[in-house]
Amino acid sequence: MVLPHGKITDEGLAELRARIGTYNRPSFYGVGQFNEYAGRDAIRHFAQGIGDLNPLWLDEEYARKTKYGSIVAPPCFLYSVYWSSGRVGGLPGVHGFHSGSDWDFRKTIYVNDRITVKEKFVDLVEKESKFARRTVILYCRTHYRNQRGEVIAVTKGWSVKAERGAAREAGKYSGIEAARYTPEELQAIEEEVLAEEVRGANPRFWEDVNVGDELKPVVKGPLSHGDLIAFAAGALGGLAHGAALREYRKHPAWMYRDPKTGATEAIARVHDQTEAAQGIAIPGAYDFGCQRLSWLGHLMTNWIGDDGFLKVLYGELRRFNVVGDTQWCKGKVTRKYIEDGEHLVDMDIWAMNQRHEITAPGHGTAVLPSKTDGM
């Protein structure tokens, strides 16, 4: 067991409740905002880190011919600015994991926009869980603004706090074995990955959409350690050597010491080190919550096309996605309507693994161009 054990105590909960309504210091292992500017390279690194090759994010010549006139960032790029997930500290030694996000996107993110963040701790809810019995859900609301003071997006993010020892005793994931695929299954998965469709410059008009239409799936997997590293490099960043050690001295709960090497490691290593993940009763290293929700954003922007806009993205992280797992990101249109002059389409979206378990249910809303625009 490499991770420290802490308890959810009444005293610790009282301290957290006293902070509800206060503003958090945007910080993640001392980094704070990772990307303050939506520079071309930052956008490229994020998009590549989620495997999204939409030319609107990557190709300057292509993007100049669109209505934007330049490269823009995928909406979920804001995770790389600041990962709002209900992290508020407190309860040292009690594990926290991102459990969901509810995004309200309002403005396009243009290349070289400067983005600022303000986050408020808004609620705390106690809950009994099969995973670790007594758990706590922490909610934060975050506003992202550009250099003109315009609100780009507002999100409500939440995280679950669970005792590591209780999670091991409950053993919810103890019977799960590492994914194994036949060569034929791997070939089929890779063909599905490569069959992804980007709507791009071909407008998807509201009038052509019907309730029941299915979105072309976006397939992610089998998840590799390289996938995790690429996402962390493009979206989260980190600290090393003395820079990291100084932060760990200020915030001991952010780290653990590897019992074999003596090296200090961030608690976030549960996302790439099997031993650390097993310390909270997960069978292996697992993805970042904002990584999987960005995949659902990738699904939607592929379908929407250049002339549409992702307005709402809601997702809950229900099950862990460990190395070796494959996720099929899917969606289906549930409603189309006009509201405040916008032509809107609602859809259910979800990620499903190779065990046919829904790991991330959600929904989204797209603004689509209409054939009546400009008439």
Q: Are 107 and 150 in contact (CB under 8 A)?
A: yes
10-367: which CATH number, 3.10.129.10, 1.10.287.1060, 3.30.70.360, 3.40.50.880? 3.10.129.10
Q: Are strands 151-163 and 218-220 parallel, antiparallel or unpaired?
A: unpaired
CA distance 120 to 203: 38
Q: What is the largest CA-CA distance in the chain?
A: 70
Residue that the structure tokens 């975050």 belong to: 142
> Over the chain, what is the mean pLDDT?
91
State the pLDDT at residue 46. 98
Q: Are 369 and 206 in contact (CB under 8 A)?
A: yes
State the pLDDT at residue 189. 98
Which run of H or E residues covers position 189? Answer: helix 183-194
Q: How confident is the model at residue 297 (pLDDT cuts 50, 70, 90)?
A: very high
The pLDDT of residue 53 is above 80 = yes
The pLDDT of residue 192 is above 50 = yes
Q: How confident is the model at residue 275 (pLDDT cuts 50, 70, 90)?
A: confident
Which residue type does 299 have? L
- 148-164 pLDDT, tens digit each: 999 999 999 999 998 87
Q: How confident is the model at residue 247 (pLDDT cuts 50, 70, 90)?
A: confident
State the average pLDDT over residues 326-337. 98
**How many other β-carbons are positioned within 10 Å of the β-carbon of residue 253?**
16
- 208-227 pLDDT, tens digit each: 999 999 999 999 999 999 99
State the average pLDDT over residues 271-280. 76
Strand ranges inside the chain, DSSP E: 94-105, 116-129, 133-145, 151-163, 218-220, 255-257, 264-266, 309-316, 327-339, 342-353, 358-367
C-alpha distances (whole Å) from 189 to each of 185, 219, 285, 351 are 6, 8, 21, 15
Q: Are 279 and 2 in contact (CB under 8 A)?
A: yes
Going by the DSSP 8-state scheme, the letter that residue 335 receives in this structure is E
Strand ranges inside 106-179, DSSP E: 116-129, 133-145, 151-163
- Beta bridge partners of residue 286, listed in sequence order: 322
CA distance 56 to 72: 6
- 335-371 pLDDT, tens digit each: 999 999 999 999 999 999 999 999 999 999 999 999 9
Q: Which two tokens stand for residue 59?
A: 């190709």
Which run of H or E residues covers position 232? Answer: helix 225-235
Which run of H or E residues covers position 63? Answer: helix 60-64
- 79-108 pLDDT, tens digit each: 999 988 888 888 888 888 899 999 999 999
State the pLDDT at residue 355. 95
Q: How confident is the model at residue 111 (pLDDT cuts 50, 70, 90)?
A: very high
State the pLDDT at residue 202. 97
Beta-carbon contacts of residue 185 (< 8 Å; ≥ 6 apart): none
Which residue type does 163 have? E
Angle made by CA atoms 237, 243, 244, in degrees to the nearest 5: 70
- 136-151 pLDDT, tens digit each: 999 999 999 999 999 9
State the pLDDT at residue 60. 97
Q: Are strands 358-367 and 309-316 parallel, antiparallel or unpaired?
A: antiparallel
- 129-138 pLDDT, tens digit each: 776 578 999 9
Q: How confident is the model at residue 165 (pLDDT cuts 50, 70, 90)?
A: low
Q: Which two tokens stand for residue 272?
A: 């790439």
The pLDDT of residue 29 is above 50 = no
Residue that the structure tokens 């396009």 belong to: 108
**Which residue in 269, 299, 280, 309 sits closest to 131, CA to CA?**
280
Q: Which two tokens stand for residue 55?
A: 């030319």
222 preceded by cis ω (within 30°)? yes
Start-to-end CA span in the chain (Å):
66
State the pLDDT at residue 87. 81
Q: How confident is the model at residue 374 (pLDDT cuts 50, 70, 90)?
A: low
The pLDDT of residue 171 is above 70 = no
